[in-house]
Amino acid sequence: MKQTNNRLTTTIIKMKTKEYFLSNAQVRNRTILAVTCLLLFFTACFFTWKWLNGQPKEQGALKPLRKVLDANESIFSTVLFSNSNLVKTYPKESAVQKVRVNGNYGLQSEFDPANWTLTLIKNPGDTLHISIDDIKKLPKTEIIFDFKCIEGWSQVTHWAGVRFSDFVKYYGLNEQAALQFTGLQTPDNEYYVGIDNKSMMHPQTILCYEMNGKPLPLNQGAPLRLIIPVKYGVKHLKRIGTIYFSSNRPPDYWYERGYDYYCGL
Ligand SMILES: Nc1nc2c(c(=O)[nH]1)N[C@H]1C(S)=C(S)[C@@H](COP(=O)(O)O)O[C@H]1N2
Ligand SMILES: [Mo]
């Protein structure tokens, strides 16, 4: 009888080989402590959330969150980024034939690819207009990689064009590429991105004019789009109109709407 009673009034905690016996009072105290901690935690979460929502916004994102994104960028762009870190590539057979079309900002204005030239602003007042035939004369590079969109989908796709670093070499843009950023815009300037030049000069970044071995379709950015495997899809601007260089962050469509500027992978 006594034994049963004992079982009712004590709790046995078994940890490894040791056994602890807790009295009812101890169990109650521990329960009170645990519930208090939980309530304090919820209260702290609530006030942090309230404080956060009262903070001003910077480029569409709450300032403290923007600071976190910028801190991540400084770690990823300095410590982890390297031109010899290549994005994984795949055999041609792995590439999908039906490539998803996503995002058509800057592709809705009237546009005749036959009249297109690339506007390359070397320096203010020093602008080149380059035809697609001239771009196709440069060494051709192919890449098959897993294209990733921040919306959560990805697909293995096959692209070809000229490495941006080869383009820079050919057009004598070393000084410009030594600045921190490149800006790209669609011809109507409805979509625009800014990209750090370390990523632009990465050996897998290409000015692309072919998909699956055929000329790029219009909704996929013909005659020329950016393919930059070290970045999320948002930065792979379709239908490039203008390229320019800058030592400050160029305007960026999704950055202005609260997204990360760097968008690295
Ligand atoms: N001009 C332009 N380029 C763009 C976009 C856009 O809306 N307009 N969307 C981007 C996004 S979010 C993605 S995921 C990719 C999609 O490329 P795809 O349509 O070739 O799959 O294009 C990027 N380039
Ligand atoms: Mo995307």
Let me know if 203 is exposed, middle or buried by CB neighbors in 10 A (0-12, 13-18, 19+).
middle
C-alpha distance across the termini of the chain, in Å: 67
Say if residue 188 is in the same domain as residue 252.
yes
Query: To which residue do tokens 């495997």 refer?
Result: 229
What does the angle CA 208 – CA 210 – CA 216 come to, to the nearest 5 degrees?
A: 100
Of 39, 54, 69, the position where a domain reaches its end is 54
Say if residue 78 is in the same domain as residue 195.
yes
pTM of the complete model = 0.89
Helix, strand, or coil (residue 2): helix
Say if residue 31 is in the same domain as residue 99.
no
pLDDT digit string, tens, across residues 186-228: 999 999 999 999 999 999 999 999 999 999 999 999 999 999 9
Residue 164 forms part of a structural domain: yes
Say if residue 123 is in the same domain as residue 185.
yes
Residue 125 forms part of a structural domain: yes
Residue 2 forms part of a structural domain: no
Residue 5 forms part of a structural domain: no
The secondary element (H helix, E strand) that includes residue 208 is strand 206-211
DSSP conformation letters of 99-158? PPP---TTSSS---GGG--EEEEEETTEEEEE-HHHHHTSPPEEEEEEEE-TTS-EEEEE
Say if residue 40 is in the same domain as residue 98.
no
Say if residue 173 is in the same domain as residue 132.
yes
Both structure tokens of 262 = 């760097």
Residue 94 forms part of a structural domain: yes
Query: To which residue do tokens 């309530």 refer?
Result: 39
How many structural domains compose the chain? 2
Handedness of CA 227, 233, 237, 243 (dihedral sign): negative
CA distances from 247 to 31, 40, 69, 135, 165 (A): 58, 47, 20, 26, 18
Say if residue 99 is in the same domain as residue 204.
yes
d(C-alpha 156, C-alpha 64), whole Å: 35
- Please compute the mean of the pLDDT values over residues 237-261 and round it to a whole number: 97
99 C-alpha vs ligand 1 centroid, how far in Å? 12
Both structure tokens of 187 = 């011809």
Structural domain including 83 reads: 58-106+114-257
206 C-alpha vs ligand 2 centroid, how far in Å? 18
Say if residue 102 is in the same domain as residue 198.
yes
d(C-alpha 225, C-alpha 243), whole Å: 11
Least confident of 18-22, 61-65, 67-71, 208-212: 18-22
Say if residue 43 is in the same domain as residue 72.
no
Residue 17 forms part of a structural domain: no
Give yes or no for residue 148 CB within 6 A of ligand 1: no
Give yes or no for residue 264 CB within 6 A of ligand 1: no
CATH code for the domain of 234: 3.90.420.10
Give yes or no for residue 187 CB within 6 A of ligand 1: no
Residues 6+ apart with CB under 8 A from 155: 96, 99, 100, 146, 147
pLDDT digit string, tens, across residues 157-189: 999 999 999 999 999 999 999 999 999 999 999
Residue 16 forms part of a structural domain: no
Is the per-residue pLDDT at 1 higher than 60? no
Bridge partners, residue 60, by sequence: none
Query: To which residue do tokens 């005749």 refer?
Result: 112
1 C-alpha vs ligand 1 centroid, how far in Å? 76
Helix, strand, or coil (residue 187): coil
Which numbered atom of ligand 1 lies nearest the CA of 149? 14
Please give the pLDDT value at position 17: 67
Say if residue 48 is in the same domain as residue 139.
no
Say if residue 45 is in the same domain as residue 118.
no
Residue 79 forms part of a structural domain: yes
Say if residue 87 is in the same domain as residue 199.
yes
Which numbered atom of ligand 1 lies nearest the CA of 219? 19
pLDDT digit string, tens, across residues 3-55: 444 455 566 666 666 777 888 998 999 999 999 999 999 999 999 999 999 99
